[in-house]
A and B are shown apart, each in its own frame.
Chain A
Amino acid sequence: MSQHLPILQVVVPLLAAPLCIFVRNGRAAWGLAVLASWVSLGIALALLGQVGTGGVISYAIGDWMPPIGIEYRVDIVNAWVLVIVATIGALVSPYALVSVEREIDARRIPLFYSAYLLCICGLLGIAITGDVFNVFVFLEISSLSAYALIALGRDRRALTSAFRYLVMGSVGATFIVIGIGLLYSMTGSLNMADLAQLLPGVWESRTVRVAYGFLAVGFCLKLALFPLHLWLPNAYTYAPSPVTAFMASTATKVAVYMLLRFFLTVFGWHFSFEQMELDRVLLPLALVAIVSMSLVAIFQVNVKRLLAYSSVAQIGYMVLGLSFATVTGLTATLLHLFNHALMKGALFMAMGCVMYRIGSVQIGAMAGLGRRMPVTMAAFVVGGLSLVGVPLTVGFVSKWYLILGALERGWWPVAVLILLTSLMALVYVWRVVEVAYFREYQGEGDAREAPWMLLWPTWALVALNLYFGIDAGRTAGIARQAAEVLMAGIGQ
C-alpha cells in the first residue's frame, strides 16, 4: 500500500469528485470532500516522511518504466508543496460547509464539492508528477475547476472575473504547452529527470531558448507575477469565501513550484541564471510587484480585494527570493510558499466569517466588528500581523530569510525595500483593524460571532501561523533542504 502512495495522492480526490455528483446531496458531498481531503493530507504527510527518511521516491504509472512511461517523482521539494496544498485543502473543506450553504444555491452544492476536489486533485497532480506534459494536464484540471468555482460566487461580477481568468489562464497554459512541445522536439523526452540530462547538450539551440521564454511567460501568467496579475484581484474578490481562501493559499503557490521545478530542475541553475540571466528579469518585476501592489492594496475599500492585491505583492517576495539565485534566497521562497499559504488562508477565512454574518467585506461595513465578532477579528489581527511580518509569526521567519538573502548578495537597498513594504502591509492591515475596533457597529444585520464550524478551521490556521512562527526549526529546515536540492539540480 505504502509504495502506491504517490498515485493515491491524486486518485483519491479524483475519484471522490464524481462521487460527489452522484450522491446529489450537499451534506453527503461535503462529507466526501472532507474525507477525501483529509486522506490526501495524510498521504502528503506520509510522503514527506518517506522522502525525509528514504530519499527520492520514483513511481512508474502502470509499471511503464520512465522515461517512456509517466513517472511520479517525489523529492523533498514537491513533498513540501503537496503538504501545503493538502493542508489548506483539508482545512478549507470543513470550513466550506456552512459558508457554502450561505453563499451558493443548494442545488449547486454537490457540484461545488466536486469541482473543489478536482481542483485539489489538479494542484496535487502538478506537484507530484515527474512528466512535463502531465503537468499541463493537471494544470488544466485545476484551472478549469477553478474557473467553475469562481463563477459560483454570489455577485454577478464573479462570472466576468471567471471568464477573464479563463481567457488569461488558457493563454498561459497554451504558452506552457508550446514550451513543452519545443523541448520535446529538441530532446524527444517528456520526463523531467531525463530532460535535465539531455538539455545541457542542446543548451545553445535557439529552440530551447524560445521554449524557455514561452514557459516563463506561461508560468508568470499562472502565478500572477506583475504585470501578468490582472486576472487575480477580481477572481479572488468575487469568488465564494472558501474558494478564495483555498485558491489564494494554493494555486499561485503551485505555479511558483512549477516555475522552480522547470527552471531549476529541468533547465538547471546554470542555464537559468548564467545563460538566460533569469534573475535580471525577475528581480525588477518582483520589486515592482511588491511596491506597486502594496501601494494599490492600501487604497482598496473591499477587504478581499485588498488581500488579493497583497497576494500579488507577496508573490513578488517569492519571486524575489528566487532572483537572489542563492540557497538562502530559495529557502526564503520555499518557506514563504508555506507561510503565505497559512497567513492568507487565515485572513481570507476570517473574511469568510465576516461575509457569513454581515454579507459584505467592504471596510466600511466592518465597523465595530472587533466587539461584535471578537474571535473572528482576533484571527484577522493575528493573520494580519503575520502578513506584516511581526516576530513570532510565520511572516517574520520568511522576511528574515529574504532580507538575509538580500544582504548576503550585498543588495541592501533591496533589504530596505522589503522592510518598507512591510510597513505598507502594516498600513493596509491597520486600516481594517482600526475600523473594526474603533468604530461603532452601524449595520442592522445579525452581527454575532461566526459559527463554530467556520471558526475552528480559521483558528487552526492562525495557530499554525503562531506555532511555526515560534518554532520554525522544522519548516526552515525542510525549506533549506529543498532549496539545496533545487540548486543542485538532477543532472549535474
Chain B
Amino acid sequence: MNVELLVSHYNYWIVIFLMMVGFYILISRGNLIKKIVGLNVFQTSVFMLYITLGKISGGTPPILTEGEAVYSNPLPHVLILTAIVVGIATTSVGLALAIRIKEAYGTVEEDEINRIEAGIEAGG
C-alpha cells in the first residue's frame, strides 16, 4: 500500500482509530460510566465519517454565491445533526440508568453487579 493512499485518506484512519478506541473502552471497562464514554467515542467516530464524506476537495461551503460551482455536500451535516441528538438521548438514558443502578445496587462496577445478581439467583 503506498504512502499517498494512506495520507490522502487520513480522515478514514482517524475515524477507524476513534471507532476502535471507543469499542475497546466499551468492551474492556467494567465501569458503567466508562462504558457510556466508550459508546460516545464510538458514535462520534461515525459522526466524523459522515462529515468528512460531505467534504468535496476544492468545494466551498454550500452557500449560494456568484462564481462558485463546487460545493461541499450539506446533507451529511444535516443527518449528523440528527445523529448527534440521538447520541445525546442515548447518553442521557444510559446515564440515568447508571444512576438508578447505583441506587439499586450501590455500585456501577459491572463485576460487583454481577456478583450481587449471582447472589440473587442462587438465593432464589
Contacts and interface: CB of A to CB of B under 8 A. Distances in A.
Contact of A163 (B23, B46, B49, B101): B101
Residue of A140, A148, A159 ringed by the most chain B CB atoms within 10 A: A159
Interface in A444-481: none
Interface string B63-85: 00000000001011001001100
Contacts of B105: 156, 160
Interface in A60-91: none
Interface string A350-387: 00000000000010000000000000000000000000
B6 interface: no
Interface residues of B, number: 32
A185 interface: yes
Nearest to A166: B94
Nearest to B15: A178
Contacts of B97: 147, 151, 159, 162-163, 166
A163 B42 contact: no
Contacts of A140: 86, 89-90
Nearest to A134: B82
B57 to A, nearest CB: 14
A238 B113 CA distance: 16
Contacts of B89: 140, 144
Given A133-B79, A159-B100, A163-B101, A147 B86 contact: no
- From DSSP, what is the main secondary structure of chain B's interface residues? helix
In this complex, the interface size class of chain A, counting residues with CB under 8 Å from chain B, is: 20 to 34
Contacts of A151: 97, 100
Contacts of B113: 160
Interface in B18-77: 23, 26, 32, 35, 39, 42-43, 46, 49-50, 53, 73, 75-76
B3 interface: no
B93 interface: yes
Given A156-B105, A177-B46, A181-B46, A167 B26 contact: yes
Interface string B85-124: 0100110011001101100110000000100010010001
Contact of A184 (B35, B53, B100): B53
- From DSSP, what is the main secondary structure of chain A's interface residues? helix
A148 B82 CA distance: 20
Nearest to A137: B82
Nearest to A181: B50
A171 B104 CA distance: 25
Contacts of A136: 83, 86
Nearest to A143: B90
A170 B43 contact: yes
Nearest to B110: A160
A160 B97 CA distance: 8
A58 interface: no
A160 B101 contact: yes
A136 B23 CA distance: 20
Given A159-B101, A163-B98, A147 B93 contact: yes
Nearest to A145: B93
Interface string A112-147: 000000000000000000000100110010001001
A136 B104 CA distance: 32
A311 B89 CA distance: 29
Nearest to B32: A163
A157 interface: yes
Contacts of B98: 163
Contact of A148 (B35, B46, B86, B93): B93
A25 interface: no
Contacts of B35: 167
Contacts of A292: none
10 contacts: A144-B86, A151-B97, A157-B120, A159-B100, A159-B101, A160-B117, A167-B35, A171-B26, A171-B42, A181-B50
Question: Ordered nearest first, which 9 A-B pairs have the shortest CB separation?
Answer: A156-B104, A140-B86, A163-B97, A159-B101, A185-B53, A159-B100, A181-B50, A170-B90, A166-B94
